[in-house]
Amino acid sequence: MEGDLEELRPFPPLGPAVRVLMVWPRFPSSYWSLEGVTEIVPERSLMPPLGLITVAALCPKQWAIRLVDLAFEELSEEDLMWADLVMVSAMQVQRDDVCRTLQRASKLGRRTMIGGPYASSEPEALLSLTDHVVVGEPDEIFQEIAADLEVGSARRLYRVTEKPDISRTPLPRFDLLALEKYILMAVQFSRGCPFTCEFCDIITLYGRRPRTKSPAQLIGELDKLLQLGWRKEIFIVDDNFIGNHKAALELARELEGWQLRNRYPFGFATEASIDLASRPELLEAMVKANFSRVFIGIETPSAESLKEAKKFQNLRRDPLDCIRFIQQRGLWVMGGFIVGFDSDQADIFDRQIEFIERAAIPWAMAGVLQAPPTTPLYERMKKEGRLIQGGLEFSNFSPPNFRTVLPLPVLLGGLRRMLLTLYDPRRFYERVLDSLELWQVRPEQKAPALSFLYQLRVLFKSVWRQGLMSDYRRDYWRFLGRLMLRCGLNPQKRRLGFELALSGHHFIRYARNVVETLEAESCRAAVHAS
């Protein structure tokens, strides 16, 4: 750990009984924000801020902690004035609300601190907005930071370079959460990824040696959630759950026994690399533990672009065969897709559409390649003089922050056409049906129970908003009819099918909004090019 930058700025001691207000900033509308779904279901947000409640567990026991999640509640002046320290964690996509929150707290004379991926990627950009910036993973040194705050010796910048042993990380403070507000619960088993993808900042922020908790540690977190009354799906937020495949296998086997003992209270979803298809024993163990969904970074059907990006794990076998194998062994597949590699030709958009439809991936996150700070791609673009100053990305639907080989109007126009095609209501729901037919549900997979009143409320809202008021209502009703004909006798497929029907209310509309933005960007790019 090292600290620097304005070390002599005096900060008064906070004393031993610090009142901490933890704030999770709002996300702008995004692929994963699922606003359309939260218009229908009682929950108000997809997942809680796991990073903040993990830091809360690292705080001294005598500190008083409150959490405000701006996804569904307002940050009041009373909240801010109560706090001795306002602590924020965020990703870069939340930067606008980060700035607003820190500025509000500073104007009221509150001490502020920020950590998380945004702070770790761009600490210098935040030092003008906040009193303290924490770079890296603070698990093993947060007691030192807390002591510095208490006695008045806290630094402006803490740079943690060592990767902590997360088997020592305490149980997150799930009790701080308004559990009823979230669609999914978040837990973490591992940090880091063994691969070398050029555009990925996971390996630069968290390292290439996956570090894991013990199975008993994660099961302790599940026991706590069970005790607090959680009974819905859990997302294991690891960037690559199978990065340490031996540890993942051990955990999956332990989870199977835990599920049996507790009558399957939770379903699981996670993220994994495509080489999961080469590990049938692990895949089977995950299914037996009641995993049902997996997000895979497929990126592109172009072998040349995968080689360029150093995503060699996607080149070992035919990616379509891998996806099909995973679907047939019991996991429903979501996927990430990227356009804008140097190797991409003008036909890449049609190739992406064809692959996504053949693979039957309804939730296809298709976006433009970006070069996040800290990544090898960022360094390469900088070396080649291709970085665009002030072009830091907000999302994968923003123009790239470097000069691409494909002309920008071609790139943005192609992405626009991809999104219009993939999220055309008829084609989206057709892909949903195809995905359900390919997904081979196993007897061990059980959906967590939802109350009859919950289901009835969601059904009525869906019928009203989608079946009566939307402009895609004919496709909605056609899909529901075909769903009942094809999957009506399979409760798992029937339930997932209805959830996917709801998701159309977000993805169809969000794609249209993105297309409008891309059209404006394309016009600006064309004018600039001329």
pLDDT of the residue at 525: 65
Q: Do 419 and 515 contact (CB within 8 A), yes or no?
A: yes
Q: How many CA atoms lie within 13 A of 187 on its CB side?
A: 24
Q: Look at residue 379 and give its three-state secondary structure.
A: helix
Q: Which residues pair with 2 in a beta bridge?
A: 159
Structure tokens at 93: 């996509």
Q: How many Å apart are CA 365 and CA 352, to the nearest integer?
A: 11
Cα gap 429→424, rounded to integer Å:
9
Q: Which of 225, 212, 293 is nearest to 258 (CA)?
A: 225
The CA angle 286-191-261, to the nearest 5 degrees, is 35
Joined together, the tokens standing for residue 229 give 């009354």
pLDDT score, position 527: 62
Rounded-to-integer distance, Cα 89 and Cα 346, Å: 39
Please state, in angstroms and rounded to a whole number, the distance separating the CA atoms of residues 306 and 308.
5
Average pLDDT by consecutive 10-residue portion of the chain (530 residues)? 53 96 95 94 97 98 98 98 98 95 98 97 95 97 98 96 97 98 98 96 94 98 98 97 98 98 97 98 98 98 98 97 98 98 98 98 96 96 92 65 95 96 98 98 91 96 98 98 95 96 97 90 68
In residues, how long is the chain? 530
Chain-centre distance of CA 32, in angstroms?
Answer: 7
Q: Helix or strand or coil: residue 333? A: strand
Nearest alpha-carbon partner for 512 in 387, 425, 405: 425
Is there a contact between 46 and 52 (Cβ–Cβ < 8 Å)? no
Answer whether 0.85 is exceeded by the pTM.
yes
> CA-CA distance, 404 to 381, in Å (whole number)?
10
Task: Give backbone dihedrals phi and psi of 525, rounded to 5 degrees, phi first.
Answer: -65, -40
Strands 291-299 and 268-272: parallel
What are the angstrom distances between the C-alpha of 240 and each of 194, 203, 331, 418, 507?
9, 11, 15, 27, 25
* pLDDT at residue 82, rounded to an integer: 98
- CB-based burial of residue 479 (10 Å sphere; 0-12 exposed, 13-18 middle, 19+ buried)? buried
Q: Strands of 19-24's sheet, edge to edge?
A: 2-4, 157-159, 132-135, 111-115, 85-89, 19-24, 64-69
* CB 113 within 8 Å of CB 56: no
Half-sphere exposure of residue 163, counting CA atoms within 13 Å on the CB side?
15
- Amino acid identity, residue 327? Q
Q: How far, in Å, CA of 325 to CA of 331, rounded? A: 9
Please report the sign of the dihedral spanned by the C-alpha atoms of residue 182, residue 184, residue 189, residue 195. Answer: negative
- Phi and psi (nearest 5°) for 201? -95, 0
Q: Hey, which residues does 368 pair with through a beta bridge?
A: 339
Look up residue 276 and give its DSSP letter: G
Phi, psi at 524, each rounded to 5°:
-65, -40
Q: Taking the CB of residue 20, how many other CB atoms lie within 10 A of it? A: 24
Please answer whether residues 187 and 233 qualify as being in contact, where contact means their C-beta atoms are separated by less than 8 angstroms: no
With tokens 């890296």, the residue in question is 136
Alpha carbons 139 and 135: distance in angstroms, whole number: 12
